Structure 1
């Protein structure tokens, strides 16, 4: 069996389903891979917020926050509705978002060395 790049056998059958699935996950991780969007999700985890509250909390322009909210909305992570003249956003599945953010923070701590001792502790 020959190896390509020393990692995978060349004659391994292609799994297009796995690539499609990985592409879907990669798209989601791309959305989550922005510090501003992560900060918005963290803020929304506490409950619904108006755009003006998010701009004040993050110290960003309304147009910037609105652009990031649109990306999160299009990914299905948040929803928005009008409340009077204000646009209010909320997380669609707070428990799942919390799990993803906690896992990402845990992995970041391990990679940076901050969580190395914790990762070796018995569960």
Structure 2
């Protein structure tokens, strides 16, 4: 492992891989993006994302279990927000990287958005 990788991620890449895996789902990213604008209830997220309540709840629970989202109970409701504002920096860096790479990520044969359309890099 090179010195820069060790400096950025510590001795093990396992935690970094788990972080990126927790953000690897489009629904979870949509939830994080929405929560970046302010706290929200699951019912609000359901309406905004157009997904089933059970789906949204499961993704919010995943993000909460990863320490990325926190809940604030108020009466019978729970308002969710980002637990770490550093997540905003990570997302901004990801947007910068995506802008710099253009369509390369979307055309990736393994993970790209065009993999099911027959487009190859």
Task: Give 1 or 2: higher strand fraction.
Answer: 1
Work out the number of aligned pairs and report it.
Answer: 98
1:66 maps to what in 2? 57
Give me the whole-angstrom Cα distance separating, in 1, the residues matched to 2:24 and 2:38.
22
TM alignment of 1:77-92, pairs within 5 A: 77-92=68-83
The CA RMSD over aligned residues, in Å, is: 2.2
Give me the whole-angstrom Cα distance separating, in 2, the residues matched to 1:20 and 1:67.
31
The TM-score with structure 2 as length reference comes to 0.72
The match for 2:37 among 43, 46, 58 is 46
TM alignment of 1:1-123, pairs within 5 A: 21-94=12-85, 96-112=86-102
CA gap 1:82/1:19 in 2 versus in 1, 3 angstroms? closer
Runs (4 or more) in structure 1 with deviation over 4 Å come to: none
For residue 21 of structure 1, report the CA deviation from its aligned partner.
2.2
The TM-score with structure 1 as length reference comes to 0.71
For residue 82 of structure 1, report the CA deviation from its aligned partner.
2.1
Give me the whole-angstrom Cα distance separating, in 1, the residues matched to 2:92 and 2:71.
24
Give me the whole-angstrom Cα distance separating, in 1, the residues matched to 2:79 and 2:15.
27
CA gap 1:40/1:20 in 2 versus in 1, 3 angstroms? same
Q: What runs of 5+ residues in structure 2 fail to find an aligned partner?
A: 105-121
